[in-house]
Amino acid sequence: MSWTVIPERFDTPEASLLRRDYYDEVASRYWRRPATEQEIDEGLTDDGVEELAPPTGEFLVGRHGGKPAACAGLKLLDPETAELTRVFVRPQWRGTGGGAALLAGLEEAAGNLGVRRMVLDTRLDLVEARGLYVKHGFREIPAYNSGPYREIWYGKEL
């Protein structure tokens, strides 16, 4: 089975379920307990996802064997810099190349938007994500933003 990664609206049924799964995982890991449905709903409310659509960004859905299995977003910060966000592969498809496929799709989307640099922030406990980024050429950079869920920053020149 192979991966396909294509742009998709963030509010399609499949993209919405992927976004819920993403938020459920990152919130549950942060709180060290399962997130409630209400907490997931609150976390997704006014989360800025509308910026992940042209002309300010892109939302990608990855499918493995045709099944929705991953998602990622790209948001323009300025004409030459885009931020990666909501990079997520469902657990049952981890280790099958989905993360690499998402990053390749994000680089292509960034190139289409004229971006020359990609950046991201993440948490220290998301070790799988951090390993993926470093494996694909991202390097630790100084903080470019602040907030309670931002503990380490990465960048990559395209």
- The tens place of each residue's pLDDT in the chain, 158 residues long, gives 799 999 999 999 999 999 999 999 999 999 999 999 999 999 999 999 999 999 999 999 999 999 999 999 999 999 999 999 999 999 999 999 999 999 999 999 999 999 999 999 999 999 999 999 999 999 999 999 998 889 999 999 99
Q: Hey, what amino acid is at 49?
A: V
CATH class of 3-157: alpha beta
Structural domain boundaries of the chain? Answer: 3-157
Which structure tokens are listed for 123?
Answer: 């948490």
CB-based contacts of 24-28 (< 8 A; 24+ apart in sequence)? 25/88, 25/91, 26/123, 26/126, 26/149
- The confidence score (pLDDT) of residue 138 equals 98
- The confidence score (pLDDT) of residue 109 equals 95
